[in-house]
Chain A
Amino acid sequence: MSAVQVDRAVAPGAGRTRTATRSRRNRRREAIWCYVFIAPAVLGLLLFSLGPMVASFLLSFTSYDLLSSPQWTGLENYAALASDGLFRKSLAVSLVYGLVSVPATLVLALVLAIMLNAKIPALGFFRSAYYLPSVISGVAVAMLWKWLFNGEYGLINVALGKIGIAGPAWLTDENWALRALIFMSLWGFGGTMLIYLAGLQGVPKELYEAAQVDGATRWRQHLHVTVPMLSSVTLFNLIMGVINALQVFAEPFVLTPNGGPDNSTLLLSVYLYQNAFQYLKMGYASAIAWVTFAIILALTALVFRSMPLWVHTEGGDER
């Protein structure tokens, strides 16, 4: 761009055609460099996303154990899934997990983000403290909660005992194991909270002032200003939450090995792992992956479809 300006300044008369060719050459050079710069991402896209995606789709129609070459079996895997009791169980477990854990996390994260957006002393400390658990994720968290959920000596049952409640055996009780996993997942609300905090920075202060003039209570201000203004952030958090909930693996795998008591925590990801890496049924596992993907797509579509009902798009006078 700058070269164009320089050219014009030097040769004002004959500048027109020369700048035209010059800028065309510049544009081509820029395009080539652009491709060079985005090449790693494009390669990554082909090698680690789109390529495997196609391969996985094809594999889901085969039977493959890594040793002999894949055998085309058509829709057999999918038909088998439909009549597989364990698969149906894992589907139900995953849906319950997602439908309880994601909304609960969103509410908790939003409430805390609003509270941590006020001007209060030790704000930095509070923000870090609430975010801290999400930094320690995965296996360490699972090990810690395995101890907290210990039926006899775990902190949770000790605390429940203090108020006269005999706590369940949590992880070894098929009625409680999934609830324990969901309860534990709430501890990681920090990431969602941080995104809400970022979103809160963008809510115009005038809206609160206007609401205050109208005599709205704090509670109503948040209900009618904060929540609608953050609805697009909620959308982002919701979709990411759904995707993550359907993929969670380390925690259930460590807390409740082999799908938990009577497969009560057999999440889709755990069942996929078992099929792929314990029974070496790669084709079947791919079919599970695609059903998971289809569910994610369906849920995302549902969220997007419902958007006009709850996502606030900025009004015309704003921009």
Chain B
Amino acid sequence: MTTTTRPVQATPRRRPARGRLGRWSLVVVLSLGCFVVLLPVVWMVLTSLKTSDQVFVNPPLWLFTPQWHNYVEVLTLVPFQRYILNTATIVGFVVLGTLLSCSFCAYGFARLRAPGRNAIFFVLMATLMLPTTVTLVPTYIVFNNLGWLNTFKPLILPAFFGSAFFVFLFRQFFLGIPKELEEAARIDGAGYLRIWWTIFMPLSWPVIATVSVFTFVGAYNDFFGPVIYLSEESKYTIAVALSYFSGSPRIGPQMHLTMAATTIAALPSVVVFLLAQRQFVRGITVSGINK
């Protein structure tokens, strides 16, 4: 933080020297910060590889023989495959539904003219400010009356009806696609559906990646939804199962196993982020602010 207060340089000619020095001090500060920010993650992985006794050694051990079998133990102590399958089902459908519905609606908002379109868009954007807690109770009551409690439907279905922020991201990106491309396709007799699917979608990889990562991480980490809608243990998602770990009789207060489970739970989001990262940052920059 102190690196931002660097001495002023009077003559532009000496700038490169200062630049190099400044740059390296910046790297040093950022590395230190990085260490602090990532330390909790390192600590999590280290704990997950200790024996139950090593966990409670003070001062903590930094060097020890990793107990990889902790992971096997966690995966067999609880029906983890079940949780993975449940989570994959929900997250898969949510990502699919969000991508389809949001890009579909965004095409209409970005490219097709109709009376009232802008007013509807405005109202849609206004709902971004609506806290989920306001809609929560009635939505729960409706799903309860439909008999959908303890099914995945309440968690999956809403994704197919667009969500304001992602419609916005897609729309911003679509606005930047040249009109000529579309007109050429129309002369060739392509309908709007075809244009959306065969021209706009294939061009939208940065946004698709961004929306996928956001939706994946959101749905994967979602806790409130599964906790209120799913009651049977066989329906639990990883997030819900994890929250019951420390209290569960099978795992109990065994911190090394809890941390192994936490590491497993954290892994998918990290992998998805690292895979999509390049597209992701570009997607934000292109569609987010620069319009």
A residues whose Cβ falls under 8 Å from a Cβ of B: 1-3, 6, 27, 30-45, 47-53, 55-56, 59, 66, 111-112, 114-116, 118-122, 126-133, 135-140, 142-148, 150, 152-153, 155, 158, 162, 187, 194-195, 197-199, 201-202, 212, 215-219, 222, 233, 239, 243, 246-247, 249-250, 253-254, 268-269, 272-273, 276-277, 282, 285-286, 288-290, 292-293, 296-297, 300
Q: How far apart are the CA atoms of A38 and B161 in the complex, in Å?
A: 10
Query: Which residues of B (216-246) have their CB < 8 Å from a CB of A?
Result: 217, 221-224, 227-228, 239-240, 242-243, 245-246
B178 at interface, CB cutoff 8 A: no
Kindly list the 6 A-B residue pairs having the minimum CB-CB distance in the complex, ordered from nearest. Answer: A37-B108, A44-B161, A34-B112, A138-B221, A34-B114, A31-B114
Q: How far apart are the CA atoms of A56 and B142 in the complex, in Å?
A: 12
B76 at interface, CB cutoff 8 A: no
Residues of A within 8 A of B85 (CB): none
Q: At the interface with chain A, which of B64-72, B88-96, B201-209, B262-270?
A: B262-270
A276 & B136 in contact (Cβ 8 Å cutoff): yes
Q: How far apart are the CA atoms of A118 and B26 in the complex, in Å?
A: 9
Contact of A254 among B39, B135, B164, B243 (CB under 8 A): B243
Interface centre among A142, A143, A198 (most CB of B within 10 A): A143
B81 at interface, CB cutoff 8 A: no
Contact of B242 among A6, A140, A202, A276 (CB under 8 A): A140
Interface CB pairs A-B, < 8 A, 15: A1-B183, A1-B186, A37-B104, A45-B120, A48-B158, A48-B161, A52-B136, A52-B142, A55-B138, A132-B270, A142-B243, A153-B58, A201-B285, A272-B136, A276-B136
Q: How far apart are the CA atoms of A144 and B47 in the complex, in Å?
A: 10
Which single residue of chain B is at the shortest CB-CB distance from A254?
B243
Q: A34-B112, A40-B101, A146-B246 are in contact. Are A49 and B8 (CB under 8 A)?
A: no
B43 & A155 in contact (Cβ 8 Å cutoff): yes
Residues of A within 8 A of B155 (CB): none
A219 & B5 in contact (Cβ 8 Å cutoff): yes
Residues of A within 8 A of B163 (CB): 44
Q: A53-B130, A138-B221, A139-B221 are in contact. Are A34 and B40 (CB under 8 A)?
A: no
Q: Distance (Å) between the CB of B261 and the closest chain A CB?
A: 8
Q: How far apart are the CA atoms of A129 and B243 in the complex, in Å?
A: 26
A218 & B4 in contact (Cβ 8 Å cutoff): yes
Query: Which residues of B (251-291) have their CB < 8 Å from a CB of A?
Result: 255, 258-259, 261-262, 265-266, 269-270, 272-274, 277, 281, 284-285, 288-290
Residues of B within 8 A of A35 (CB): 108, 114
Q: Distance (Å) between the CB of A187 and the closest chain B CB?
A: 7
Residues of B within 8 A of A111 (CB): 1, 4
Q: A55-B138, A120-B30, A254-B243 are in contact. Are A137 and B217 (CB under 8 A)?
A: yes
Which single residue of chain B is at the shortest CB-CB distance from A268?
B133
On chain B, the number of residues with a Cβ less than 8 Å from chain A's Cβ atoms is 104
B contact face: mostly helix, strand, loop, or mixed: helix
Which single residue of chain B is at the shortest CB-CB distance from A125?
B34
Q: How far apart are the CA atoms of A90 and B72 in the complex, in Å?
A: 41
Contact of B115 among A31, A116, A197, A288 (CB under 8 A): A31
Q: Distance (Å) between the CB of B200 and the closest chain A CB?
A: 11
Which single residue of chain A is at the shortest CB-CB distance from B222?
A138
A127 & B281 in contact (Cβ 8 Å cutoff): yes
Contact of A136 among B183, B228, B269 (CB under 8 A): B269
A133 & B41 in contact (Cβ 8 Å cutoff): yes
Q: How far apart are the CA atoms of A299 and B149 in the complex, in Å?
A: 35
Q: Distance (Å) between the CB of B184 and the closest chain A CB?
A: 8
B211 at interface, CB cutoff 8 A: no
Residues of B within 8 A of A51 (CB): 138
Q: Distance (Å) between the CB of A319 and the closest chain B CB?
A: 13
Q: How far apart are the CA atoms of A140 and B239 in the complex, in Å?
A: 7
A114 & B273 in contact (Cβ 8 Å cutoff): no
A136 & B258 in contact (Cβ 8 Å cutoff): no
Q: Distance (Å) between the CB of A53 and the closest chain B CB?
A: 6
Q: A44-B163, A132-B273, A140-B221 are in contact. Are A59 and B7 (CB under 8 A)?
A: no
B3 at interface, CB cutoff 8 A: yes
A31 & B40 in contact (Cβ 8 Å cutoff): no
A293 & B130 in contact (Cβ 8 Å cutoff): yes
B21 at interface, CB cutoff 8 A: no
A143 & B30 in contact (Cβ 8 Å cutoff): no
Residues of B within 8 A of A286 (CB): 137-138
Q: How far apart are the CA atoms of A79 and B224 in the complex, in Å?
A: 28
